[in-house]
Chain A
Amino acid sequence: MSRVRRFSLAPDAEVDQFLTGLGQRTTLEAEPTEVVERTIYDTFDWRLHNDGSVIERQVRDGEAIVVWRSLRTGDTLARFAGDEGPRLATDLEPGPATERLAAILDMRALIALSTVNTRRTTMRQLDDEHKTIARVIADEVVDPGDHPLRSVIQVVPLRGYDDEARELTDLLDAQVVLTPDAEDLMVAALRRDGFAPGDYTSKLRMRLDPDQGGADVYLVVLRALFAAMLANEPGTRDDLDSEFLHDFRVAVRRTRSVLGEANHVLPADVLDTFRSGFKWLGQATGPTRDLDVFLLDTADFAKELPGERRPDLAAFSSFLATRQAEAHAALVADLDRDRYAALVDGWARFLDDPPTPTAEEPDGSRPAPQVAAHRIAKAHRRLIKLGRRIDDGSEPERLHDLRKDAKRLRYLLECFGSLFPSDEIAPIVKDLKGVQDVLGTYQDCQVQAGQLEQFAQDMLDHRNVPASAVMVIGLLVEQLDRRGASARAGFHDRFEAFDRTAVRHAVHRLDPDHPHHAGGAGDGDGDGDGDGDGDGDGDPSATDDPHPRSPLEPDHPEEPTP
């Protein structure tokens, strides 16, 4: 498929003059020039940018439309009604384009980022059938302000007319006033306004230095997690979409997990203070997340219900939405409390100016790979020991405990993986993930089924809802029970795949003191694996935080992909 070519016009050149000159060299038919106010949208984690497309709301002569276009080909992918700025894919009119867009956006909201007023001139190159074979589009910024953007001239080819577009591009390539390989004007506007497209991802992207000491590396990890937490706080407060709170909670849980593994690395009094602070924060964010998950699940569940039962589910969704709004208001109140401000301020101060490790924290000055490898090996040993004790008669609590141990190991691998060669970490994570998936699904189904039954009772007791709306919850509970049972049945196979010599050796090879040690530092991709996730939530030590990820959304794990 042909690609669009973009050129930027020299600041001292005039668009009209340039187009007039171009028109003397080749036959182009001009469409009327229009002034368009364009606002670019993307999700917080740049899903459209990563997809190579752009959504913009265009207002011309008071009429607004939303245009989704490809940055690669310049093609318009879809147009939507634009009376209001787009937000969620589910708000757009249903159709094939909306489905494609929803596959990219998922639950993330579109956020208006930058607005530019442009004067646009489109010129069409026609063949002898009067058919458009290429378009030249000139966009000039009106009211450039303090940070002017250079005008952009694009050659947008039409499929099947590559040779013709190439001739036109060659002609533009030869113009001294043009610089090739310019950015899309709206992407340039983003940069002008201080955005860095693609800069946020919920994945942990750290490059840890294996020559550093334990404390330094722990601090690098904790700073990255704190940055992720703060980045998601405004969106969490505004409830722009459910992923802000999700990513906020993931950062909190990972922080708690790292603090849980920081004895003899960081000062004990610091650990006491902040373990308790982040535990409170984890609990404060739990109820809203639970309801977010139920709301997301209910939308999926609706697709499986026969049409005549959907209104019943709608009543339940509406009940959930009300509860979610209440829970979110309580969460915002918690974030407004002095306790939260003190936690954030104190944590920032500690991370900015941490004390040098003393004799009380011997692991703080030991080489980081050694510290991490020992803790990974210890977590692995514990998981194997307890996992081997599980049989068909084991109480659910034993599996729940094992889930925490699996998480503990997973977080260590995620946070410290880049200290090691990725090919050593990947096989451990791959099989660990298999174990976590079944354990997570099993527990989440159990917890969620219990919560649903409470909701049903609450709806009957306090809210004026028809009994049929409560009955539909019964169907949801049945579905959860089936999934939970199926997950438990799959535990042994998954655990056996993890409890094998190759994984054990991979764990041993991480330890610089171990005879199996591989040697050499990691590739530093920061995640150590590159798998999906599905490991669920919760700090391994967070026994009091029973907020599960969704077992009904296997493709949307609670944790982001590391």
Chain B
Amino acid sequence: MSESLIVTLSLIILFLPLTGFTLTILLGKKVPKIYYTELLFISLAMILSVVIAFFKLGTYADKTIISSFNWINMGFISQGLNKYIELGIQIDNLTVIMLVMVNIISMLVHFYSIEYMHGDKKYTRYFAYLGIFTFSMLGIVLTHNILMMYIFWELVGLSSYLLIGFWYEKPSAADASKKAFLVNRVGDVGMFLGILMLFMTYGTFTFDDIYHQISMGVIPFNSGFWLTVTGILLFMGAVGKSAQFPLHVWLPDAMEGPTPVSALIHAATMVAAGVYLLIRIFVMLTADAMLVIAVIGAFTSFLAATIALTQNDIKKVLAYSTVSQLGYMVMAIGVGAYAFAFFHLITHAFFKACLFLGSGSVIHAMHHEQDIQNMGGLRKKLPFTYFTFLIASLTISGIPLTAGFLSKDGLLAGTLAFGSLTGHWLIPAAGFGVALLTAFYMFRLVILTFHGKPRDEDRFEHAHESPKLMVIPLVVLAVLSLFFWYTPNPLGADQGWFLSKWVVTPQTVTPEFTRWNFMQLEHAPKAGEHVIHSNMYMEAIHHAHYPAMILSLIMAGLGIFTAFLFYQWKKVNTDKLAAAIKPLYLFSFNKWYIDEFYNGVIVKALLVLTRVFAWFDTKVVDGIVNGVATLVRWVSIGGKYFDTYVVDGFVNFTAFISGLFGIILRKAQTGKVQTYIVFVVFSIIILLILL
């Protein structure tokens, strides 16, 4: 298979779901069955992606295939040279692995939804939305430049908005979709600014060109600080999309969407896009930026794990678990465990999709009951669901023989190594603490849902195992959560094909003074050598491998044991315990009051601000305009009075004076002839006297 064929096939994979979307949305009203094309296309895309993954990972394992064309002419940037924005795809090992992962889960969710969404009045449109989502997600995976990634980034935001708000008749769903989009936008603005910084400095959006220039020593404003800032700004995009603190609040609310959507978008693929972004920009992150990322990741995973402990909605628990696991991945990037972050992204996608689809199966069986306090004993009624859910829970807890054990172990080893090299011990501490919490809350969920006696007999009686179309995806995902897909050795993935051949940590391109000292090269790369493994950090991870494994096993075991102690064997009365530590319990149950803070402070403040501005606009700005108008009218009224009373008044005054004289003189005008004669006579006499 030639390179150009791989490119062509990737493009076909990319546009298949878009075609499905277009056909379904345009013809859906006339031909409701049109959604079969969407199903057909996604299956085709899945098969094609497996095919190209096979060839890429086999034949071209060390090669990055890039194909691009000029999309937009931006005009002159400098010296009369036209600048172009490129559209292009970049196919490396990560891309094809992501392609396979996204397409498999998307396809399984499509088929699962056929049953799950059955009877919904917007059934056809639902598949259309899944189509546009898959298209956008594949776009993020395939792109070779940061602007295009931003474009698809926003498009997944749109599809997520549409799918969370799918049941928009529910005000909570409408609220949640709006919240998701807006919270993401906040992160996106940061990312956009980061992109602007990159373009300003490098004049290109393409990853390769940017990294090449950084390795040549070109950095924003010639300062390591601004390179760090750029990295953190780009990371803000990931904070939004991957639901990291402080922008994690949208993800639990996003559970208002249909459950298969939660599995696909809000567990497996879209939320992992943030981590994927970090993986793509990993080589340009400075030590400071990485530390920020590690701290945010560690804090998020801890925060979400503590909240997950006390939630009673089955999907909410899984949502917080997702946030916590995403925090893990982000933390892994921050500590430099690049390959393990990616590894965990993939394994998490499978087991968390399995968990969500399993929860969907439970909800389906329980007639849309989501509260685990009303469940229990479902093991007997839903054997397949229970079994797959259990496997996935073991995977997330990190029990050997599962893929989750491998990725989590490697990831924790990375934090341990980081701690030993830098002295930031809080990060591994958080990592292992979260491992304990994760095992505990997952098994709390399993036990409360499936074990024990049914707490709602009525619903329990009517519960039944889901149809085949829903069970098969569960089984497939459970199987994909096992270790043998990634490595032959169930205790360590280092030597497996996934980590040794497919995913290799690239060398950072940042200037030396901005790197961790342990990331220095030990020797210059030889000609033809693609990747350099030999640095202190890799060594340290290697050393940390066994301690981390043992420690994480202890933590997982302890967590599971406690969960059984609390909920299966009931040795501890949980209600009493909760009452004993009431403030802590409430703090966790109310999600650290972060939503309250946002709604009560930030949203309120914004609304007040908008009202102030609107008031300012109508009363002050427009007030001035109207005031000027009024003033002009006053002046004109004044003018009127001036005209009436002064100008015209003068004229009338003259007339008045004449009139007055007239009135006086009229007295002499008697009309009597004799009076006149008297006047004549007297006048003559006076004249004579005077003369």
The answer to whether A binds B is no
